[in-house]
Amino acid sequence: MALASSVNRPAEVPLPLVQLNRAVLLLGVLVALLLQQPLLTTALLLLLLPSVLVSPAASPLAWVGRRLLASRLAGAPREAAELLRFNNTLAALLLGLAQLAFLAGLPLLGWVLAGLVALAAALALAGFCLGCVLFYQLRRLRASGR
């Protein structure tokens, strides 16, 4: 039975792929901000959409990561796919709102919203997952019937 716990389960995502996702979000927003190119945040949004609309496994980042990080994935710690999907949904929502702000001629608001994505990704890479805290708090509230 001990082997069953080490089998890759589709409801979990290897941590190196999760970290790649976070790093791409952080670096993507920082590069976009430095270059003052809101279209780069649009590209990040488009990268996230398959993960949000289908599953984390459908993400182009996951596809690339599975090839680039193949040697690190087999025994890597894992994160629940629903947690990654929730975090990506939050990031996509913020990046989508940023796109609307840019289109509405409110670049400062757009950069603040995109910056929140970068901040959350940086915190998660440093070991504190803000999206995870929100996820579990929402679950707790839902379980208590509020």
DSSP letter for 36, please: T
| DSSP three-state, residue 98 | helix
- Where do the structural domains in the chain lie, given as residue ranges? 12-143
pLDDT in tens, 31-89: 999 999 999 999 999 999 999 999 888 999 999 999 999 999 999 999 999 999 999 99
Is the pLDDT reported for residue 5 higher than 60? no
Q: Give this prediction's pTM.
A: 0.88
Is the pLDDT reported for residue 1 higher than 90? no
Q: What is the mean pLDDT of residues 19-38?
A: 98
If pLDDT is split at 50, 70 and 90, which confidence band does 12 have?
A: very high
Those residues whose C-beta lies under 8 Å from the C-beta of residue 3, and which sit 6 or more positions away, are none
Within a 10 A sphere around the Cβ of 35, how many other Cβ atoms?
10
Residue 57 is predicted with a pLDDT of 87
Residue 6 is predicted with a pLDDT of 42
pLDDT in tens, 80-119: 999 999 999 999 999 999 999 999 999 999 999 999 999 9
Residue 11 is predicted with a pLDDT of 82
Tokens of 24: 């791409």
